[in-house]
Chains A and B, each alone.
Chain A
Amino acid sequence: MFSLFFRGLATGSIYSLTAMGIVLILSTTNVMNFSQGDMGMFLTFIAFILLMAKIPYLVTIIIIILMGIFLGFLLEKGLMSKVRKTSHIGMVMITLALTMIFEGIVGIFVKTPTLFPPAISGGPIIFGTIIMDRQDLLSLAISLAVVIILFLALYRTKIGIASRSLAEDEYAAKLLGIPVKNIYIFIWAIAFGLAGLAGIIVAPRLSLEPTFMLVIQLKAFIAAVLGGMNSVLGAVVGGLLLGVVENFVSFYIPQIKDSFSLILVVLVLLFLPQGLFGKRETRRA
């Protein structure tokens, strides 16, 4: 029972990491980011090369996060900022194009699903009847740390608070002299940093191939909808919740294992379109 819950939580933490990236981008730049998952896939592929070259795991993770941050910077500076004024749908198309580019590049080198080494090896940790996989524990711990760091950044730093203001009212943020362009860069950098991290954590459990993050991307969307689409906290809770519920469902009713999350998204949109943490207009007058 607890093992099921725990496994679901670990899976959910990956959904959360990816969903946070999607929600951050959507709420501040208004772009539906389809490339969050495949950016993670691409970075995981780079991580694979680094690991094969005997670079230590921890160093690899750090390089991957930094690379994600750099790619986010590059994307905003080089592409998004140029397209923003002329075409909003163009920005969404760019994220779609990125998925194809990344899948294409990785597809050249990875023809068959390849096993990705886990960060820590060794058998599961067993307390009585509770069985916990080491990699699962690690992904939960890392996700928790990242959520805390991200929330500190968003609520305690100047640029974080400014990012939130941009998500609420771009016009007002501009009038206050907030350097909107830098904030877009900041947000894309964070999102793609998260993408790399999510990819490298989940890869050992799945296996490396060009489309291995597509399922995660889809589940992250659902987690984001569950959380209300514009709330980072919602994305975190939505991801964890989805992971846990999904794991229970697939254990007790395996027939609807794959369709469950899609049924869930329909139900949420029907009965709770604001999601769990969606912002209702609580403004007076």
Chain B
Amino acid sequence: MLKIKNLHVGYGPIEVLHEISIEAEASEVVAILGSNGAGKSTLLKTISGILTPTKGSISIEDIVINGSEPSKIVKMGIVHVPEGRHIFPGLTVKDNLLLGGYFRNTEDNKKNMEFVMSTFPILKDRLNERAGMLSGGEQQMLALGRGLMGNPKLLLLDEPSLGLAPKITSEIFQIILDLTKQKEMGVLLVEQNAKKALEISDRGYVLVNGKIALSGSSDELKNNPEVQKLYLGGKNV
């Protein structure tokens, strides 16, 4: 579904991503691993249209999307849930969710809202509260729910576990996994927590200094000595 070919991205004269080629299919969780500054978030920002690549192409279902406005890319079914959640703290939970479906019609929004409520029942009781009053975990659920309101084919998740307790992280990861199967949605998961990410993902790519250093099925990656050493808390870390 998602095909990225030979992608180069830079901020001004500095190139951050080099020769990136990635694919992701529906109903599949693809993990993007890498240390701080490897270019993971840059990759997601480029897919969602915030950044424009200097070279290469990004296509979804064989339609090239790079160079399009973010609003067009969202309409095509790619929704980016950013790092740090970026919910609107002064708006109510309900308004936050509705904005996730800004370009959908009222009927779709109603249906999607019901779906989000059933996935995250916790939000249902707090619909009229200001989103800034939610706990960190609830805010992450809101950010996810807001993304789901766009009814995405492909969800880009940037560090959903950031700042969350392990128990809540597991809960959220389980939900992500269920959603993928249930909605036949593809997920591109950027995570620092490589161990957890490899547990729920089908495949993974390892980014090092803006290049793909390694790729393969999650089981392969889990057993790769290099990955174990660098990202899974091996002895020499």
Contact = CB atoms under 8 A, between A and B. Distances in A.
A177 B133 contact: no
Contacts of A281: 89, 132
Interface in B161-182: 163
A284 B136 CA distance: 7
A285 B163 contact: yes
Nearest to B82: A175
Given A175-B50, A175-B70, A161 B91 contact: yes
Contact of B135 (A161, A176, A179, A284): A284
A172 B82 contact: yes
A168 B73 CA distance: 22
Contacts of B90: 164, 168, 279
A169 B103 contact: no
Interface string A171-192: 1111111111000000000000
Interface stretch (B15-23, B92-100, B191-199, B205-213): B92-100
Given A164-B90, A165-B88, A284-B135, A176 B82 contact: no
B89 A175 contact: no
Nearest to B76: A177
B83 to A, nearest CB: 11
A158 B98 contact: yes
B134 A284 contact: yes
B96 to A, nearest CB: 8
Nearest to B143: A172
A177 B103 contact: yes
Contact of B80 (A169, A175, A283): A175
Interface residue range, chain A? 20 to 34
A150 to B, nearest CB: 17
A158 B94 CA distance: 12
B130 interface: yes
B117 to A, nearest CB: 19
B71 A169 contact: no
Given A161-B95, A282-B130, A177 B89 contact: no
Contact of A168 (B91, B134, B136, B150): B91
A268 interface: no
A282 B89 contact: yes
Interface string B122-151: 000000001011111001000000100010
Contacts, number: 83
Contacts of B163: 285
Interface in A74-110: none
A266 B96 CA distance: 36
Contacts of A67: none
Contact of A165 (B73, B91, B133): B91
Given A169-B86, A284-B133, A284-B136, A176 B91 contact: no
B82 A165 contact: no
A285 B80 contact: no
Nearest to B163: A285
A158 to B, nearest CB: 7
Contacts of A284: 132-136, 139
Contacts of B132: 281-284
B89 A176 contact: no
A66 interface: no
Contacts of B222: none
Nearest to A179: B71
Contacts of A176: 74, 79, 99-100, 102, 146, 150
25 contacts: A161-B91, A161-B95, A161-B98, A165-B91, A168-B89, A168-B91, A171-B50, A172-B87, A174-B50, A175-B50, A175-B74, A176-B74, A176-B100, A176-B146, A177-B74, A177-B103, A177-B150, A178-B102, A279-B90, A281-B89, A281-B132, A284-B132, A284-B136, A285-B135, A285-B139
Interface of A: 158, 161-162, 164-165, 168-169, 171-180, 279, 281-285
Given A175-B82, A176-B74, 12 more contacts: A164-B90, A171-B82, A172-B82, A172-B87, A175-B48, A175-B70, A176-B79, A177-B72, A178-B99, A180-B71, A284-B133, A285-B163
